Amino acid sequence: MNALLTQWDTEFGLPPFAQIADADFGPAFDAALTEARANIAAIAGATEAPSFANTIEAMEQAEAALDRVSGVFYNLAGADSTDAREALQRDLAPKMSAFASEVTNNKALFARIEALWQARADLGLTPEQLRVLTLYRQMFVRSGALLEGAEAARLTAVKSRLAVLGTQFSQNLLADERSWFMPLSEDDLEGLPDFVVASARAAGAEKGVDGPVVTLSRSLIVPFLQFSPRRALRQKAYEAWGLRGANGGATDNRAVAAEILALRAERAKLLGYASFADYKLEPEMAKTPAAVRDLLMRVWEPAKRKALADADLLQTRLHADGIAGPLEPWDWRYYSEKRRVAEHDLDEAVLKPYLGLEAILAAQFDCANRLFGLEFRALDVPLYHPDARAWEVTRAGVHVAVFIGDYFARGSKRSGAWCSAMRSQRKLGGDVRPIVVNVCNFAKGDPALLSYDDARTMFHEFGHALHQMLSNVTYGFISGTSVARDFVELPSQLYEHWMEVPEVLEKHARHWQTGAPMPADLLQRLLDAGTYDQGFATVEFISSALVDLAFHEGDPPADPMQKQAEVLESIGMPSAIRMRHATPHFAHVFSGDGYSSGYYSYMWSEVMDADAFAAFEEAGDPFDPATAARLEQFILSAGGSEEPDQLYTKFRGRMPGVEPLLKGRGLLEEV
């Protein structure tokens, strides 16, 4: 019996991971697609006049089996890939794209949606239902429902090929990250803190190597670049990190990226848009490429000035070490760490013992309890990997969600950090509670000790999780994080602010061995250094966002690498800093359409998150109950039930300007 095709009689309806084999997924997808096609055909071919119930609500439930199987498979494919799962991903990409095109190209189905849309004023719809109908029609039109004949067929082919290429890009990147490592001799460990040495030894064991290694996992390579005094090794590691997806051979992503950009431009033109950026940004808060560029450039110039001034200070340190050449990208983190110790008396090796994974878990749960009344109970249930852990989330004794955390780097997991849902919240068809997953790539240790950036990452992803867990809508189509791309990062980036609340750190930042709280003077120095090196971080980010925008704003570049170089030259990219995500490993943009023309959205959301936290500051309490209740009501529980600017204005009373962002990054004085 295929466990994926049965009703799961498990606690909280969790997938029965112990009963699922890789061989089950292919047949399960085939059966689920067959069922979904039959359901869609029945809706489209119904003889009854279209109603919201027999058309939109029926569509909401038509793919229930497919959603269930997909929720398991794609989470496993990202967090714990196998050869079989990767092969099935490649096979599924065109199949899933073809099914999506079948649905949106179904003229009879669209005719029913269009009839409802034209009669919407007379249907007695609730505001949420009207919003869902609007978004369904928008999805169909933007997917080509108005196209006919050859144009419709070509759009279907383009979308299918893009699905294949996105999967290929992701798998190429994972292959490069998985295959490269740099062995370290015992002498090469000189100058590295104990936690980096322990991570390197653990990585060597994971790779089956007798000795420590550096891998391309951010959680290992970044601290190596921060602390290793061996410049040649830093250069070797950094260049390998930067060459992911650009090493030639079968895993090279440069031609893949070029084809993706060409097909996206063709897709946009088939749909009547001047460029893919115009098409992609139309439903977002920004609306236009010009609005995105305006925001990015307003922050770029002060950030670049700050970064160049910092580069001069770091280069002085480089020269003091007897190195005559210019500051290089593999030098920045090393000398920045030395400068941070000198100027703020802040050494990451001293900080880490107070930032254990367990302590940060307790902190993020505690903040969620104080803000929203949530309680977390550890579960002993079978999961998909031994590293994964689960908690039941309740409020006032009522079940809210299941939360799964998967925090450690491994070769089977793609890089980065993300939040996803194996099951999303909805009320249609019963009160369905979500199963939410946070995935990170921290170095495994005993205990696992985090950098301050790692801890912020945990809070960030948990902010996304809260958006899913506190969702309170009827229709899954607008549940949780189903919002505009440049609004979705608001809850996650906002939650990071509680990581820096002094009383949170005082309570939870405790030494993993002694249990002693972080010394008051160390805590103060940590908070004082909150904007340290923000010129570097902002330049890293905005350069990537501007390249993404330029790729999609006009005609597609024949050579994306040349276009990348041209953009960086035009903005005066500092030579000692490189893009956070160079084109061949820019998974946000090329592994799918999610952040294409949309990498800017982190900064767009940051404009709001800085202003949103100021609401708590103005109330005089970072846990002010009334402000937290408004945040839940208008942001976290609302999903995509209204336009995001309307939701934010209901929460805050107005839309913000860019000044809180500049202040938060320590760049305001540069304007």
Instruction: Decide: 484 and 475 in contact? Cβ < 8 Å.
Output: no
- Going by the DSSP 8-state scheme, the letter that residue 53 receives in this structure is I
Of residues 551, 558, 643, 559, the one with CA closest to residue 600: 551
- How far, rounded to the nearest angstrom, does the alpha carbon of residue 289 sit from its chain's CA centroid? 21
State the Cα–Cα distance between residues 23 and 463, nearest whole angstrom. 35
Residue 517 carries which DSSP code? B
Among 645, 641, 485, which residue's Cα sits nearest to residue 131?
Answer: 641
Residue 8 has, within 13 A of its CA and on its CB side, a CA count of 18
User: What is the distance between the alpha carbons of residues 400 and 470, in angstroms, rounded to a whole number?
Assistant: 8
Q: Which two tokens stand for residue 652?
A: 């805050």
The per-residue DSSP string of 371-440 comes to: HH-EEEEEE----SSTT-EEEEEEETTEEEEEEEEEEE--TTS-SS-EEEEEE--B-TTS-BPPEEEEEE
Rg over CA atoms, the chain = 25
Q: What's CA 588's distance to the chain center, in Å?
A: 8
Cβ pair 202, 289 in contact under 8 A: no
Joined tokens for residue 43: 């809706």
> CA 631, CA 652: separation in Å to the nearest integer?
9
CA distance 613 to 609: 6
Three-state SS at 263: helix
Is 461 designated active site?
yes
* Burial of 513 from C-beta contacts in 10 A (0-12 / 13-18 / 19+): exposed
In the beta sheet, which residues pair with residue 517? 510
3-state secondary structure of 215: strand
**Max CA pair span of the chain:** 83
Of the candidates 259, 461, 489, 632, the residue annotated as catalytic is 461
Cα distance between residue 510 and residue 342, in whole Å: 24
| SS3 at position 449 | strand
630 and 651 Cβ atoms separated by less than 8 Å? yes
In the block, residue with structure tokens 């039959």: 38
Q: Amino acid identity of 87?
A: A
Inter-residue contact 252 to 245 (CB < 8 Å): yes
* Helix then strand then coil, % of the chain, to nearest 5: 60, 5, 30
Q: Report yes or no: 91 and 422 within 8 Å, Cβ to Cβ.
A: no
Cross-strand bridge partners of residue 436: 403, 421
Spell out a b/e string for 2-27, using b for 16 or more CB atoms within 10 Å of the CB, else e. Answer: bbbeeeeeeeebbbbbeebeeebbbe
Q: How far apart are CA 526 and CA 529, in angstroms?
A: 5
- Reduced to 3 states (helix: H, G, I; strand: E, B; else coil), residue 85 is helix
Secondary structure class of 511 (helix, strand, coil): coil
Q: Which residue has the tokens 């990054």?
A: 665
C-alpha to C-alpha distances, 526 to 174, 353, 405, nearest whole angstrom: 34, 14, 27
Active site residues: 461
